[in-house]
Amino acid sequence: MTAILGRMGVLLTFSAAVIGVIVLAVSLVRRHAGKVADGRLDGRPYALIVLAGAGLATGAMETALITHNFSILFVAQNNSRATPLLYSITGMWSALSGSILLWGLALAVFTAAVVWRFKKVADDPVVAWATLVMYAVTAFFFGLMIGPANPFVTTHAVSNGLGPNSLLQDNPLVAIHPPLLYLGFVGFTVPFAFSIGMLATGRVGERWQVETRRWTLIAWTFLSLGLVLGAWWSYQVLGWGGFWGWDPVENAALMPWLCATAYLHSVLVQERRGLLRVWNLSLSISIFALTILGTFLTRSGVIESVHAFSESNLGPLLIGLFAVVVVTGFGLIAFRGDRLRSPGGIDAPLGREGAFLVNNVILIGFTFVVMLGTLFPLLYQALTNRQVTVGAPYFNTVAVPVAIFILLLMAVAPALSWRKIDPGVLWHRIKIPAWIGGLTLVACVVGGVRGPAPLTAFALGAFAAASALRSLALSVRASLRRGAGAWRGLVGRANGGMIVHLGVVVLAVGVAASTAFAQRSELALAPHRVVTFDGHSFEFERVTTVRTPVRTATEALVKVDGGGVFKPAVSQFGGSGSAPVGTPAIDSGLFGDVYLTFDAIGGDGPASGGQVITNLPAGSIAVGVVIEPLIAWIWAGGLLIGAGGVLALVPGRRRRRPTDPVSEMAAPEKKDPSDDGQLHRLEQRATDTRQVDEPPLELERS
């Protein structure tokens, strides 16, 4: 019965999405032909059916997992009676077809949200086109669940299932990290849909970019948190002491994030000045295309990765969707080239427009480097039938200078004005942050820090942090003078952006410190003998075996620095046939972590597949030790980035209150601002409107 309900939900959603596409297409054709819109040709109600069907299918799958309904093949392969409730729930996205179902649920939620948000202007052709595109993408993914990725295939009932992958039931972050990534990936469908709507109708005016940027920011925030929590999960579970390995699946999630970051900056230039239209539409289409490419890499089986799903036959279908997105999107841009003319150019490089342009060039260039390094092994193998590996050194060679340039831009950009700025005014605004950065550099050198990369990162990080704090302080002061409360100076897209900058600085400092100054060793520990390494002491007490209905673990009890006892282990989940995995123990602190893994037992060989240490006395153990300074700053920086993204979504106060975008869209349609005169007036109006986060110089001096 559960499988039947699940299949009904999938079929219901697919049918509603297809009918929604047809209804909206007919309505748009009739409108284009000059016929009066027919109220019966309304695509909005189908969004509720799509959401209901997706909810029914998801509820059926979760019910099957929680109740251990092994008559469903997916449950039998990814669940067992010993699986805890949390990991039974997360089992839905532990394998291919269940992950597609989670993707479909997120897509249904975003589709319903778009329809609800624009219910007042549902007859607007741009909204109709965007809704049609959302339905089409929904139909594609639920079509996969009807065919090759059916999560409700039944089988002969078995008494017990195989259980989830051991790595997917060893940390509760598996309940948070994948859903956030999916919400980020799927959320980028909305700006793509509106870009297609703008291009299809020829209405490429800036009023739609306000909404497009807001939805992009929502998806970007989810993806940012998902990436950082994924790095944290990798650090806590995989036992290698690292957090980012330039794995192809990691890169697949990073590429759309880089493009979306560039878009969130460059679209401000379009809103203010009417510039970069083609560039921003291209970015919006590229972001969505990269999410489809990432889906292909993750779910087609073409790569080997700890993050990848098993082999499937979805590869050609996903590549086909990728090709349709690229050809359709960029074909429409070429078709509408006459309407995408900008009213002018960037006035001077020393201004926010110039800074945002440089920011975009760096981020998109780095995206290309990551894409090349990720896809080159696949292309090389396809052409030569030989394997080649592109490792971390290739990516790090480019990532380090990119990070340094981004920190420099973050330090200077908040002090820049639109159009251009006098160098003397710029120095007045950045001199205190610059001095703070210089003093930080001196303090690091005096404190014994060496190496050009970490020294540069620490100095520029202090410079950028001080610059962001200066902007926030001015905004809070202006808010207090208005009697609006200090919190008003922390919300809005500009102030939220400054908090994001602070998060990026904290994360960058953590990455620089943990990668440049990490110390690794493998120590042989005899019982009750103290061994020191890098200023820390380690005392091995004993080995114990812990058995629970879920897990059997061999734990090494190690006292660190004479204090708490930590228990690195080798764990086996589920039945005796499951592969053992290492479970690290981490002594985490604000200024550094001590990371322990259980590698070998003397006389018994390797404990977790690690290296055997010759002549290791019986009763002794070998533990891997990694000392990683400031690595907790990475997780803190990621959470701060997420908080900044949320605060940026809270409407801020402007000196001149703008018209609400949806209300403006609901007003009678005006002449599209594609002619030069209309664009000139738009540019002038945008230039005249100043935000509170950009206070006049006299306020800074007071």
DSSP letters, 390-449, are --HHHHHHHHHHHHHHHHHHHHHGGG--SS---HHHHHHHHHHHHHHHHHHHHHHHHTT-
pLDDT at 302: 65
561 contacts 155 by C-beta, under 8 angstroms: no
pLDDT at 341: 73
584 contacts 626 by C-beta, under 8 angstroms: no
pLDDT at 670: 46
Which residue has tokens 């696949």?
378
For residue 645, give the amino acid letter.
Answer: G
Q: Domain for residue 340, yes or no?
A: no
Buried b / exposed e along 84-111 (16+ C-beta atoms within 10 A)? eeebbebbbbbbbbbbbbbbbbbbbbbb
Q: Domain for residue 129, yes or no?
A: no
Buried b / exposed e along 573-588 (16+ C-beta atoms within 10 A)? bbeeebebbbbbbbbe
Q: Domain for residue 16, yes or no?
A: no
Mean pLDDT of 247-251: 88
Q: Domain for residue 459, yes or no?
A: yes
Are residue 496 and residue 533 in the same domain, yes or no? no
* DSSP code string of 342-369: -SS--S-SSSHHHHHHHHHHHHHHHHHH
What is the pairing mode between strands 565-566 and 592-601?
unpaired
Token code pair at residue 168: 């997917």
CA 570 to the chain's CA centroid:
31
pLDDT at 575: 59
Domains: count for the chain: 2
Are residue 580 and residue 478 in the same domain, yes or no? no
User: What φ, ψ does residue 519 adopt, rounded to 5°?
Assistant: -120, 130
Cα angle 355, 630, 183 (rounded to 5 degrees) comes to 60
Residue 696, helix vs strand vs coil: coil
Is the pTM for the entire model greater than 0.75? yes
Is 80 exceeded by the pLDDT of residue 336? yes
For the chain, the C-alpha Rg in angstroms (whole number) is: 27
Cα separation, 541 vs 532, whole angstroms: 15
Q: Domain for residue 354, yes or no?
A: no
Of all residues in the chain, the percent with pLDDT exceeding 70 is 86
pLDDT at 674: 39
Close Cβ partners of 301 (under 8 Å, ≥ 6 residues apart): 308, 309, 310, 311, 312, 315
Are residue 504 and residue 569 in the same domain, yes or no? no
Token code pair at residue 345: 């150019």
Please name the helix (run of DSSP H) or strand (run of DSSP E) that holds residue 676, with its range, or none: helix 676-688
The better pLDDT of the pair 486, 501 is held by 501
Task: Give the helix ranges, DSSP H, for 245-314.
Answer: 248-273, 277-299
Write out pLDDT tens, residues 624-677.
999 999 999 999 999 999 999 999 998 876 544 444 455 555 554 444 443 344
What is the pairing mode between strands 551-560 and 565-566?
antiparallel
Is 80 exceeded by the pLDDT of residue 19? yes
Are residue 561 and residue 625 in the same domain, yes or no? yes
Is 50 exceeded by the pLDDT of residue 612? no
147 contacts 68 by C-beta, under 8 angstroms: no
650 contacts 488 by C-beta, under 8 angstroms: no
pLDDT at 22: 94
Are residue 582 and residue 513 in the same domain, yes or no? no
pLDDT at 343: 67
Is 60 exceeded by the pLDDT of residue 678? no
Are residue 535 and residue 611 in the same domain, yes or no? yes
Is 80 exceeded by the pLDDT of residue 256? yes
Q: Which of 108-117, 173-182, 210-219, 676-685 has the lowest mean pLDDT?
A: 676-685
Are residue 479 and residue 490 in the same domain, yes or no? yes
Mean pLDDT of 207-221: 88
Write out pLDDT tens, residues 368-390.
999 999 988 888 887 888 888 88
Cα separation, 694 vs 36, whole angstroms: 47
Are residue 610 and residue 639 in the same domain, yes or no? no
Write out pLDDT tens, residues 288-316.
999 999 888 887 666 665 555 555 678 88
Cα separation, 583 vs 597, whole angstroms: 7
Highest mean pLDDT: which range of 300-309, 319-328, 348-357, 664-673:
319-328
Are residue 513 and residue 644 in the same domain, yes or no? yes
pLDDT at 206: 61
Q: Domain for residue 478, yes or no?
A: yes
Close Cβ partners of 526 (under 8 Å, ≥ 6 residues apart): 540, 617, 619, 620
Q: Which of 116-120, 305-309, 481-485, 532-536 has the lowest mean pLDDT?
A: 305-309
Token code pair at residue 8: 């009904």
Is 60 exceeded by the pLDDT of residue 266? yes
pLDDT at 609: 43
Q: Which of 31-45, 191-205, 406-420 has the lowest mean pLDDT?
A: 31-45
Range of the domain at 602: 519-633
Token code pair at residue 44: 């909005």
Cα separation, 340 vs 284, whole angstroms: 15
Mean pLDDT of 534-555: 88
Are residue 435 and residue 583 in the same domain, yes or no? no
Check residue 320 and give left, alpha or beta (phi > 0: left; psi -120 to 50: alpha): alpha
Check residue 696 and give left, alpha or beta (phi > 0: left; psi -120 to 50: alpha): beta
Q: Domain for residue 445, yes or no?
A: yes
Close Cβ partners of 622 (under 8 Å, ≥ 6 residues apart): 522, 523, 524, 525, 599, 600, 601, 602, 607, 610, 611, 613, 616
The chain-wide mean pLDDT, for the chain, equals 85
Is 80 exceeded by the pLDDT of residue 606? no
pLDDT at 339: 76
Are residue 545 and residue 602 in the same domain, yes or no? yes
Are residue 526 and residue 502 in the same domain, yes or no? no
Mean pLDDT of 68-96: 90
